[in-house]
Structure 1
Amino acid sequence: MLTAFLAVAIGAAVLMGMMTVYRDIPEQMGRELRSYGANMIFVPSEGKTFLGARTVSEALRRIPEERLIGAAPWRYESLTMNRLPLTVAGTDFSQVMKTRPYWQITGRLPIDEDEILIGRDVAGMALLKPGDVVDLAGKDQDGERFRLKLTIAGIVQTGGKEDGFLFVALPLLNELMNGNDEMQIMELSVAATGDVLAQYLEQIGQDFPTLVPRLVKRITHSETVVLEKLQALVYLVTGIVLSLTMICVATTMMAMVMERRKEIGLKKAVGAENGTIVAEFMGTGLVLGVAGGCLGCVIGYFFALAVSFSVFGRSVSVIPSVIVMTLALSVVVTVLACMLPVRRAVSIEPALVLRGE
C-alpha cells in the first residue's frame, strides 16, 4: 500500500509541476524571447509616408498593457554630421531598449534632447567618443537649412546596419524637419503567442485603415516552434510518468490480490458477492488516488516553483483548475490500474483456494 501510495504521489507531483509550469510557459517564455527584438510593427498604409502619433496611440490601446512590453517609434532622415552624410534615426530612447534589448551601449542612453547615440562604425570612422560634441546639419521639409550642436551620450553596437546610424530623440528630429508629431514605423514587443498576435493584427487592421500592422515573421515563427516543442515535451513526460504510475499501482494491487487469495475465497464461500469484492478493492484504489493526488499537488507546486525560479527568476501562482485536473487524473489512473487486479480477485474460485490449490 505504501509503495502504491508513493507511486501515485510521485505521478501526481510530476503532473502538477509540469502542468503548472506549462500554463505559465507561454507568457514567461514569450517575455524571455523578447530579447530577439520586436515581433510586430505598424507601417503606413499604401500611399502614405508617415503614421500619426494619435492614430498609433489609439491602436496601441487594442493591446492589453500587461502584454505590451515596449513600443518604439522610428523616423529616418538623411543628414550630415561634421560634414559626414549619415542616416539619422529618431526614436524614443525610453522604449528602444525594450524593443531592442540586444543593443550594447558604451556610455549611456541619452537623457536630454540635445544628446545622441552614434553607431560603432560612425564612432570609429570619425574618431568620436562619449562626451564629444558634433554638428548636425541638413534641410527641413521646406528646404530651409538648419544646424545645431549635439553631445554624444553613448556609442551603440548591434552587429547590424544600425552601427552606421546616428540616433536622436524623435521630437527633436520632427522639430528640425518641420514635421508634425509623426513617425514612419512603430516597433512593438508583445508577450503573446502567434495566434493571439494574429488576433491583434486583425482587429487593429480593421479599426485603423491608415496603418498596416505586420508580424515580424522570423521572430514569431521561432517563438511558435519553441513553444510547440516545449508543449510536446510536457505531454511526453506527463504521459510516461502516468503510465509508470499505472503499472506500479497495478503490480502492487495484483500482489495484494495474490496475498489475500485465501481471504477472498473465504469471503466468497460465506456469501460475499463479486460486487462486494470489487467495491473493496476499488475503494482502496480510490483512497490511494485521492490521498496520493493531494500529497502530489503539494509537492508538485513546490517543484514548479523551483523550476520557475531557476529558469525564469519568477514565481508561479496556484491554478485551481490544474489542482482539480491533477486529482481527477490521479483517481482515474489508480482506478484503471485496479481493474486487472479486481478482475483477478473476482475470478477466484473459493473451493479451489480453500483446498490449497
Structure 2
Amino acid sequence: MKRQTMYFRMITSSLIRRHSRMLVALLAVAIGATILSGLVTIYYDVPRQMGQEFRSYGANLILVPSGDKAAFRLEAVERAADFIPPGDIVGIAPYRYETLKINEQPFMAAGTDLDEVKKTSPYWFVSGEWPVNDGAVLIGQEVAGLIRLSPGDTITATGTSADGGSFSHDFTVSGIVQTGGTEEDFIFMSLLDLESLMGNDGELDVVECSISASQTALEDIVGQISENVEEVTPRLVKRVTQSEGTVLTKLQALVYLVTVVVLILTMVCVATTMMAVVAERRKEIGLKKALGAANKSIVMEFLGEGLFLGGLGGLLGVVLGFVFAQTVSMNVFGRSISFQPLLIPVTMVVSIVVTGLACLIPVRSATDVDPAVVLRGE
C-alpha cells in the first residue's frame, strides 16, 4: 500500500470514528463557506443589480451645449455616444424645446425620441398609451388639467416656425404624463413632428443619458467626451450618481464586515472541536509517541483531518452559497444572478486556510502530550 493511500485512509477512518464531533466542525466550515461564497457573489453582482435599480430614477448623465451656444447638432451626440461602452447604455433621449400655442395659450413642447424616454425615465406614469404613430402626443398632467384634455382628444397646435412662417397642426392626445415633477408642464411629441413644425432639423437643447456604470466609469466617460467633442458639455446628475455610489460603498463595507465575522466564528468553532478531539485522543497520541511516532507525523495527521474538513466544507459552501445568493437577489432585487466559476477555487482555498489556522493551537497541544504521563493514566 502506498504511503499517500495509507495516510488518506488514516484520516478518513479517524473522521468516521468521531463523526459526531467532526460533523459539527464540517457544519461550521460549510456555513462559513456558504456565507463567504454567497456574500462574495452578491458583492460582485450588487453593483449591476443596484445600477439597474437606480436607472429607474432617471438619467445619470446629460449633454448640454458648450460655451455660449444655444443648441447643438445630433451628429455631436453620435460622436459623444462613441465614448460610452455599448453594453452600458440603457437609453439616450434627445430633447428639443419650443413654445407652441393651444387654444391661444402658450405651452412648452418637447420633441424627443419617446422610445428612448421609456428607457431613460421609466418612472413616468402614463394614463392612456405611449404614442406609437406620428401626430400623437403626451400631455403633462398640469397642462391636461388646465385645458381639460383626456386621452383620445384632439388639439390644434399653432405657432411660428424658424423661417418666420406660421403653422397650425392637429395632434391626438395619446396619454397623460404624471411624474410629480416639471414634466407635467410639458407637451411631449416625437422629434420629427416638432422639427416638421419648427424647422432647423437636427438641433437639440439637451440629451439625457442613462448609463449602467459606476461613478468612476462615468467620470472617465465625461472626461473623454469633454476632450473630444467640442460642441457639447457632459454633466453628471450628482443626486443620482452620488446616491448610487454611497449606497454601494455601504453595502460592500457591510459584506466585508459580515464575511470577516463569520470566518472568525468558523475558526473558533473548528478550533474548539479539534481541541476536544485532541483531548479524547490523548492516550492514542501517547501510545503513538511511545512507539516512536515523531511530532511531525502527529501534526500531519491532525492537519490532514482539518484540511480535509476545510476542503469538503468549502465545496459544500460553493453550492449552498450560490443558492443563498440567488435567494437574496430574487427577494431583494427580483432578478437572478450569474454563477462565478472563480468562486469554486477561491472558496475552497479560503476554507482550507481558515481551517488550517484553526487547527494550529489544537495541533500544538497534541505535540505537547507526554507519553509517560498519559500511559500511566494521569
> Displacement of 1:58 after TM fit?
2.5
> Displacement of 1:316 after TM fit?
1.9
State whether structure 2 residue 307 is matched by structure 1 residue 286. Answer: yes
State whether structure 2 residue 9 is matched by structure 1 residue 4. Answer: no
Q: Deviation per CA, 1:48-90, whole angstroms, max 9, x where unpaired?
A: 2222112212321322222111111111112211111111111
State whether structure 2 residue 259 is matched by structure 1 residue 238. Answer: yes
Q: How many residues align?
A: 357
Q: Contact 2:157/2:170 (CA < 8 Å) preserved in 1?
A: yes
Q: Contact 2:100/2:107 (CA < 8 Å) preserved in 1?
A: yes
> Displacement of 1:306 after TM fit?
1.9
Distance 2:344 2:207 in 1: 42
Q: Which residue of 1 aligns with 2:16?
A: none
Q: Contact 2:124/2:177 (CA < 8 Å) preserved in 1?
A: yes
What is the letter of the counterpart of residue 286 of structure 2?
G
Q: How does 1:153-172 map to 2 (within 5 A)?
A: 153-172=174-193
Q: Contact 1:171/1:181 (CA < 8 Å) preserved in 2?
A: no
Q: Contact 1:103/1:157 (CA < 8 Å) preserved in 2?
A: yes
State whether structure 2 residue 122 is matched by structure 1 residue 97. Answer: no
State whether structure 2 residue 325 is matched by structure 1 residue 304. Answer: yes
Q: How does 1:121-200 map to 2 (within 5 A)?
A: 121-200=142-221
SS of residue in 1 equivalent to 2:249: helix
Q: Which residue of 2 aligns with 1:318?
A: 339
Distance 1:259 1:351 in 2: 17
> Displacement of 1:238 after TM fit?
1.0
Distance 2:231 2:341 in 1: 44
Identical pairs, percent:
52
Q: Which residue of 1 aligns with 2:46?
A: 25
SS of residue in 2 equivalent to 1:156: strand
After TM superposition, the structure 1 stretch with the greater mean CA deviation from structure 2, 300-309 or 188-197, is 300-309
Distance 1:320 1:127 in 2: 59
- The one of 55, 74, 96 equivalent to 1:75 is 96
> Displacement of 1:180 after TM fit?
2.0
Q: Which residue of 1 aligns with 2:81?
A: 60
Specify every segment of 5 or more residues in structure 2 that has no aligned partner in the other structure, as ranges: 1-21
SS of residue in 1 equivalent to 2:342: helix
Q: Which residue of 2 aligns with 1:347?
A: 368
Q: Contact 2:318/2:343 (CA < 8 Å) preserved in 1?
A: no
SS of residue in 2 equivalent to 1:74: strand
Q: Contact 1:74/1:183 (CA < 8 Å) preserved in 2?
A: yes
Q: Which residue of 2 aligns with 1:47?
A: 68
Q: Which residue of 2 aligns with 1:210?
A: 231
TM-score (normalizing by structure 2): 0.92
Distance 1:226 1:63 in 2: 23
